[in-house]
Structure 1
Amino acid sequence: MKIPSATYRIQFNSQFNFHDAEKIIPYLKQLGISDVYASPILKAKSGSTHGYDVVDYHQINPELGSEEDFKTLVSNLQELGMGWVQDIVPNHMAYDSQNKYLMDVLENGPYSDYFDYFDIDWEHPYTDIKGKILTPLLGDFYSTCLENNEIKLRYDEAGFSINYYQLKIPLRIESYSKLIEYDFKRVSDILGEEHNDIVKMLGILYIINNIAQVTDKKKRKEQSNFVKTILGELYRGNSVIQDFIDTNIKIFNNEIEPQNDYNLLDELLSDQFFRLSFWKVGAEELNYRRFFTINELICLKNEKPEVFEDTHKLIIELVNAGLITGLRIDHIDGLYNPTEYLERLREKTGDIYIVVEKIIELEKAYFSRQEEMPITWPIQGTSGYDFLDSVNSIFVFYQEEAPEKITNIYHKFTNKKKPYQEILIDKKRLIADKNLAGDVENLANFLKKIAGKYRYGRDFTLNGLRKAIIEVLVFFPVYRSYITCEEIQDSDHEYIEEAIQKAKAQMPQLVNEFNFIQKILLLEDQAFLSAEERELWLHFVMKFQQASSPLTAKGVEDTALYVYHRLISLNEVGGNPDLLGISAGVFHYFNQKRQDHWTHSLNATSTHDTKRSADVRSRINVLSEIPEEWESEVMTWQDLNSSHKHRTHQKMIPDGNDEYFLYQTLIGTFPFNQEDYPEFIERIKNYVIKAVREAKVHTAWLKPDLEYEEKFTHFVETILQPSEENLFLEKLRYFHEKIAYYGVFNALSQTLLKITSPGVPDFYQGTELWDFSLVDPDNRRPVDFAKRISLLEELQQQAESDILGLMKQLLTNYQDGRIKLFLTYRTLLARQQHLDLFQKGAYIPLEVIGKYQEHLIAFARYYNQTTAITLVPRFLTRLIDPYHPPLGSEVWGDTQLVIPHTFQANWTDALSDRQIAPANVISIGEILQHFPVALLIGHNSP
């Protein structure tokens, strides 16, 4: 197995393709990257900026290049000894006309070869979608779109189709008869009943009208294709028939007098295997599983071996050919049976590096347990959010009264005191009630079906079961459980019991329903059930598990984290805003567990999905160290900007919570370079609209409040407008410069910890320099690689001639980001030189003594007589004045690093190449004499 030394995430799209990637491969190698970590590269919806909306699993995305282009790119990588880790999407495909599998299902229904590929409930209890697939892709009500001539019937070489802007869906073959038979006399009178082409038309009608009797899929498809072929030949070869069909299309489209009030087209649409609807319908009535709440992404049944084989065929071929050396599995919790999926994938791909996108939240004080990833999964680890939240949290000042002060400032500014735990539950319930109401309804209908089989369940109403399911889901303490027909793990048992207990406390009137749900989820009394009943119970459990993950993700990541703004650097995927900082001991414990169980998990700090970049969080974390100063500043800003708010009779725009969120965002993202400022204003304006819609308080994607959004963006534009009168902007700049300075050292410390902690350091594109990006699409802006290539070459040349002089220069010019690039390449170089040490080495927390011991994190990695010591500072506002680097004994005084006897060695600082003599204790001022972080390498005598 090829374990990456360091990965670099590239977001491929039409603006950055395989040819573009070829140009930067030498740079990545020079930087110290061992593996490209690629966003999805299979054919996606045209114009996709991310690749997760796959339309064809059998080909490389032509917008990125050809398969040969891909092979050439990988060949160039392999010549440099580099690998390719591929992000794949097993859970869903695009609900789009380019998805031939789905279009075949929409056209042929149960006669499609792909009928069972998608997670669709064909027997839905709602009569208007029973036997059909809901197509909630209209921008308005169905009748409105129809009567506005937005839904059009068309004919081309592929046959008849329904079109709505870019959406094109083929009609089922049976409905062709309506279009051909309509006023057929008109064309037969012109050509004559004996005309050969009229006879062919009648033959077509005969086949169409009798095709319902054909149950063999292959024969049906042959007859359908025959009809389309002959009709196409007639249309192209006979102008009278062409005019007849074109005229009928216009009549059905209500374009010819006398108008039919769209009844013909409506009747035609009612005869299809799909039902067009307003996109908002998908939130409440739905008979297919989506990716989260995105109607345009329809989920697959990859639990079926034939679906797995088909959708993984090309990826497995590329793995077996040695082109792909690692896989990252997107949204593992969305799969029906993640364990079975991973075992099947491992069997097909052999000894290959595999990580999964699995969210494991930091421990919550109000839940009894912390989630653990199933230790039996045949993988190397996660994509790194667990590390991200752990390493970020050690830079949040949690000592003394800081947490209470930060909390009080938030309450005072916003006049909101609801605890995060309550907000989290409220928002999960909101999502279950609104955005995922259709998914909950489907679970309730399924449970009602089961309940009706037993006397103890027959009196449960659909409404009661629905309410009970919602409560269990919202109180579920983790993203999902992993119950299958095998033995139930103790952890899953505890999660379910915990959720049920909390749900009962919330709604004691539904105690019987909750007991019933617990019985089903824990698969109790299985010995007394028939095989059919056991299968039904298990299927409900599996569907429940698939529902809990998107509910948690939407309720927490995409709602609660946009509502609770005490310290938004903690509002991250898998993070816990309720946990204001962790101790060094907790961080060490996390790393030791990681080394024991998931040695090769990715260590991420910024990803394509993070709410804000690591550098943004590094700045905002500084606020936790200076609560009094932060309070003074933010209260002053509130006063200065009060006149720019918009007052209505109901509310203030923005409200205090959104304003507080905005100020933290500005601190975290304010650019170093003045030339970036105009773009910065536009970025913030776009961002706040997304943020307040995600919060779902004043506006939402389902129901936008344009007034709130417009007034908020106007507020942003006004307070950021440069002018002599804008006192706020002047104060913001001054305060930002100070916070940004301390943020630099937080960011450098996080970078070194990422590279040297157990795991594989992962770098998101462009973040080797300062990156102050927000959530997508902001973090998917183009990267200036030419600049990075040039800077790295200069740094390496300068390091060879005068590395200490270079370090001094980098500290003086910290704003240009070269200091981060320098640290990255020097540490990755050390990692490559001692790869076994960092991949296999034991993790040993080290003791720091002296006055400023709490301001340092130190640990050793030890393997085969070689030791690496990582030393990083934190909480520097309490140690140094602004613009005074944390270097030397003048700063660190009597603070010392304790070196265990077994690690005594002559030390080399991997960053500066300085030599440090062995000793039982080493002065921090000596270690951090020239650079604010250190990586010491020593070789011990046997």
Structure 2
Amino acid sequence: MTTIPADPVATYRVQLTPDFAFAEVAGILDHLVSLGISHLYLSPILAAMPGSTHGYDWCPPARISPELGGADGYRLLRAHARAVGIGIILDIVPNHLGVFDSHHNEWWADVLRHGSDSEYADYFDLDTDFGDGALCLPWLSADGDLSSLRVSDGELWLGDRYLPTADGTLRPGATPDEVLAAQRYRLVPFDSRQIGYRRFLAVNELAALRQEVPEVYEATHAWLRELAADDLFDGVRVDHLDGLTDPIGYCRRLRADIGDRLLYVEKGLSVGEHLDPALPVDGTTGYEQLRLIESAFTAPSGAVELSEVYQRITGDVGDGDELNARAAALRHVTLVDMFSDRLRRTTALFARSAPEVPVHNVQQAVATMISGARLARPGYPSSNPVVLETIARLRVENPSMADGLDVLARAFASPERAPQAVARLGEAVAAVSAKAIEDIGYHRTSRLVSANELGCTPLAPTANRDEFHGTLAARARDWPRALTALSTHDTKRSEDVRARIAVIAQIPQRWTVLVLTLWQVAPPPHAPTAYFLLQNLIGVWPDSGTPGATVRARFHAYARKAMREAQLISSWTAVDDAAESAILDWIDRLLTGTPADLISDLVAVIAEPARDESISRKTLSLLMPGVGDVYQGTQWWDDSLTDPDNRRPVDYRRSGDDAHGLDHPKARMIATALAVRRRHPDCFGPGGGYAGVVCRGPSGIHVIAFTRGGADGEPQVLVAAIRLAHTFRAGSAREHAVIPLPPGVWRDAATGADHHGSVTADAVFGDRPAVVLERL
């Protein structure tokens, strides 16, 4: 039996479905071994709502999903993985559960039957303060239509949604309306702002849980303790940490339950924000690293030039000040329209701590703070100085809100003053930002959509060398086991799609000509939407030829989702079929004739540089401080867009003639990088060193390089990768970039060639985009 490394080498994320369950995962273990993967990273394994393809809508009682293979199937997978030296990291979902089908959620069904008298009422974050004490469920259309309400086989239904009824209320001969009127809940329009339960973000089918209640924690984590007792997993990934009322307290309880196993948290960090050291975790799932890599491969001058064509086409300004103003306004609208329950309840808690201040003034301050927050979630101890600075700034900008903002300032300055209010505000900021910025905003703004990604910000699409190396040196010191993500089940675009789109910033003038020409030969029906979609279409366009029927169908589905998320010409709650069809017709016009030829010509220019940069990014992600996470299928080229496109089944038969699946440049580089990691564990785990290497020469800016060393500080591994590859092709261009190697002889891990002293990029790279050297 091969030993599972105590410090992960790399993780491999698998999306489990009934068609790709524990048994099927066991079938790819040999392939993962060939890549060098040390840990499987599984999507949620608990039983979920019928038909679920993701598992985040799990339902009680908490038990391993029979559809995935059940407890026995999981134990067998664990045994097979352990036999080949691969550990398992479990994705757990403490923040919410699925409530669409009450037949499969006994807790939620009991709450609907008995209201606040239910034994499970305290499990959920309920709100019955709308007049009659009933629980308001925002499950109706805007016009409040109840025509789909019916009684069938002794049960009350709203369309295909089962509505549990209190004992004795479903009397023979009673009409559906009469039965509904007798319940402890009320059905209200989705836009009524009368929401009786805290949802996950604004998703009606996912109800938030109160993990701060001991009984809730026990009911949702007993299964995990049982697995820990039998040593059946090696780590945990916590979904949506910032949705919990007390993230630090929760992580402390979880740490006590799982011992010294790996503990990762899914948590966004804004630019310059750091993970709070009070969290007893091994790090985040790596979106902040995604941003760092993305920004390092985006041409600064090109991003500036793209602002001009973006404004010319859409009429919007894409600079930082304008984007900040639009982001604050969008957060405010989203807060009022979708999260009025958060606003009202947060206001009430702050007002309770300062009865002398009018409630309206407090509400204004709370809304302004949520709309203007720059942190992913205020309320962590280490972030309080930044929060107080933000409040002070808002006070200067809004002198009429001074007394309300002072209430917030006192609460954050003295956490014991109003801890529940601070927690509620932090959770609201996380929810509103996720919906307003990541869902709506990232589908509206489109200066360069590769920067519209989780962890990233269109405000600052680039990073300089000092920020890059300084951030990684700090990570090596503080969070050496934290994950580094490039693609996940939640990213808006796969790493390869983003890499190609980012190359547009290296050819801004050519891009401008293409856009202006397309706008002449195929005028779009709505310019902002078309400009956004065109970049994404470029990202998935085949290297040669034009998109076939499969890509066309996938892109149509993506375009519909993007239009509805953006809420400019259509939305999920007010679908405009005519507007959507007009855009889809325009897309189809781009797929043939002159428009297709023009797009194919541009793709021919950027495809190879994008492939090179994708391999460069992957190499860095695996060898920079932290632990690289490989999302399913991204060991090969992957042209996925946002979910559900990025959760399509992976064809593991694509390995071709190589039984191990390594006959692909990305897969080969992954195997090379991880083999080096395994040969030098002291350089990559806790205590390992990091130092940036500054390349010289007129083209030195095209190379990112760093060394990794052991506790003695001596570098043992040097990693070098090319960036801005469009003008840095193999040959003479690379002769003008010089890499100063540290003392000693350095051997290429892939070719075996030896190097020493100062060497040109041409000599080290040849026609490759990245190299890994080991000191002899």
TM bracket (short chain): over 0.9
The 3 A distance-change label for structure 1 pair 297 and 291 is: same
Residue of 558, 562, 575 corresponding to 1:687: 558
Q: Which residue of 2 aligns with 1:469?
A: 366
CA-to-partner distance for each residue in 1:299-353, whole Å, 9 max, x for gaps?
1110112211110011121122111111000000011110000011011111110
Shift of 1:768: 0.7
The 3 A distance-change label for structure 1 pair 552 and 795 is: closer
Shift of 1:582: 1.1
Matches within 5 A, 1:142-291: 142=144, 144-145=145-146, 148-152=147-151, 154-155=153-154, 161-173=155-167, 175=169, 179=171, 248=172, 251-253=173-175, 265-281=176-192, 284-291=193-200
Q: Which residue of 2 aligns with 1:203?
A: none
CA-to-partner distance for each residue in 1:604-653, whole Å, 9 max, x for gaps?
100111111111111111111122222112211111112xx4xxxxxxx2
- The one-letter code of the counterpart of 1:630 is W
- The one-letter code of the counterpart of 2:122 is D
Q: Does 1:605 align with 2:486?
A: yes
| Percent identity for Structure 1 against Structure 2 | 29
CA distance in 2, matches of 1:545, 1:924: 48
Pairwise CA RMSD: 2.2
- The one-letter code of the counterpart of 2:739 is L
User: Please, which runs of 5 or more residues in structure 1 have no aligned partner?
Assistant: 156-160, 180-247, 254-264, 363-369, 527-533, 646-652, 797-817, 881-885
Q: Does 1:90 align with 2:94?
A: yes
Q: Does 1:321 align with 2:230?
A: yes
CA distance in 2, matches of 1:102, 1:496: 39
CA distance in 1, matches of 2:587, 2:767: 41
Q: Secondary structure at the match of 2:268?
A: coil
Residue of 65, 74, 80 corresponding to 1:76: 80
Shift of 1:106: 1.7
Q: Which residue of 1 aligns with 2:733?
A: 891
Q: Which residue of 2 aligns with 1:915?
A: 753
Shift of 1:503: 5.8
- The one-letter code of the counterpart of 2:673 is T
Shift of 1:844: 1.0
Q: Does 1:849 align with 2:696?
A: yes
Q: Does 1:38 align with 2:32?
A: no
CA distance in 1, matches of 2:257, 2:15: 26
CA distance in 2, matches of 1:854, 1:838: 26
Shift of 1:492: 1.3
Q: Does 1:582 align with 2:463?
A: yes
The 3 A distance-change label for structure 1 pair 541 and 76 is: same
- The one-letter code of the counterpart of 1:731 is L
Q: Which residue of 1 aligns with 2:115?
A: 109
Q: Does 1:833 align with 2:725?
A: no
Matches within 5 A, 1:333-732: 333-362=242-271, 370-398=272-300, 401-417=301-317, 419-451=322-354, 454=355, 456-457=356-357, 460-462=358-360, 464-482=361-379, 489=382, 491-499=383-391, 501-502=393-394, 505=397, 507-523=398-414, 534=417, 537-642=418-523, 645=524, 653-654=525-526, 656-672=527-543, 677-720=548-591, 722=592, 726-732=593-599
Matches within 5 A, 1:19-34: 19-34=23-38
CA distance in 2, matches of 1:360, 1:789: 40
Q: Secondary structure at the match of 1:848?
A: coil
Larger mean Cα displacement after TM superposition, 270-279 or 305-314: 270-279
Residue of 707, 710, 718 corresponding to 1:860: 707
Give the alignment's TM-score, normalised by structure 2. Answer: 0.94
- The one-letter code of the counterpart of 2:174 is F
CA-to-partner distance for each residue in 1:21-54, whole Å, 9 max, x for gaps?
1211111112211111011010111111111001
Q: Which residue of 1 aligns with 2:138?
A: 136
The 3 A distance-change label for structure 1 pair 794 and 598 is: closer
Q: Which residue of 2 aligns with 1:753?
A: 620
CA distance in 1, matches of 2:111, 2:584: 44
Residue of 696, 707, 720 corresponding to 1:871: 720
The structure number with the bigger radius of gyration is 1
The 3 A distance-change label for structure 1 pair 861 and 520 is: closer
Q: Secondary structure at the match of 2:307?
A: helix
Contact 1:851 1:893 in 2 (8 A): no
Contact 2:95 2:239 in 1 (8 A): yes
Contact 1:423 1:564 in 2 (8 A): no
CA distance in 1, matches of 2:767, 2:177: 76
Contact 1:520 1:541 in 2 (8 A): yes
The 3 A distance-change label for structure 1 pair 827 and 27 is: same
Shift of 1:141: 4.8
When the two structures are aligned, how many residues end up with a matched partner?
Answer: 764
Shift of 1:435: 1.6
Q: Secondary structure at the match of 2:121?
A: coil
The 3 A distance-change label for structure 1 pair 587 and 766 is: same
CA-to-partner distance for each residue in 1:651-698, whole Å, 9 max, x for gaps?
xx22x2222112211211112376962111112211122112222222
Contact 1:141 1:277 in 2 (8 A): no
CA distance in 2, matches of 1:697, 1:471: 24
Q: Which residue of 1 aligns with 2:67?
A: 63
Larger mean Cα displacement after TM superposition, 428-437 or 776-785: 428-437
CA-to-partner distance for each residue in 1:218-247, whole Å, 9 max, x for gaps?
xxxxxxxxxxxxxxxxxxxxxxxxxxxxxx
Q: Secondary structure at the match of 1:127?
A: coil
CA distance in 2, matches of 1:788, 1:127: 62
- The one-letter code of the counterpart of 2:512 is E
Q: Which residue of 2 aligns with 1:191?
A: none
User: Please, which runs of 5 or more residues in structure 2 have no aligned partner?
Assistant: none
CA distance in 2, matches of 1:790, 1:299: 48
The 3 A distance-change label for structure 1 pair 632 and 676 is: closer
Shift of 1:444: 3.2
Contact 1:280 1:702 in 2 (8 A): no
Contact 2:530 2:583 in 1 (8 A): no
The 3 A distance-change label for structure 1 pair 352 and 790 is: farther
Q: Which residue of 2 aligns with 1:803?
A: none
Q: Which residue of 2 aligns with 1:933?
A: 770
- The one-letter code of the counterpart of 2:576 is D
Contact 2:384 2:412 in 1 (8 A): no
CA-to-partner distance for each residue in 1:185-237, whole Å, 9 max, x for gaps?
xxxxxxxxxxxxxxxxxxxxxxxxxxxxxxxxxxxxxxxxxxxxxxxxxxxxx
Give the alignment's TM-score, normalised by structure 1. Answer: 0.78
Q: Which residue of 2 aligns with 1:802?
A: none
The 3 A distance-change label for structure 1 pair 470 and 896 is: same
Matches within 5 A, 1:788-803: 788=655, 791=658, 793=660, 795=662
The 3 A distance-change label for structure 1 pair 613 and 149 is: closer
Contact 2:749 2:773 in 1 (8 A): yes
The 3 A distance-change label for structure 1 pair 338 and 57 is: farther
CA distance in 2, matches of 1:133, 1:35: 44
Q: Secondary structure at the match of 1:137?
A: strand
Shift of 1:500: 5.1
Shift of 1:83: 0.5
- The one-letter code of the counterpart of 1:67 is A
Contact 1:74 1:323 in 2 (8 A): yes
Q: Does 1:99 align with 2:1?
A: no
Contact 2:522 2:589 in 1 (8 A): no
Q: Secondary structure at the match of 1:373?
A: coil
CA-to-partner distance for each residue in 1:396-451, whole Å, 9 max, x for gaps?
111xx434312112112222226211221121112112121232133334445555
Contact 2:484 2:629 in 1 (8 A): yes
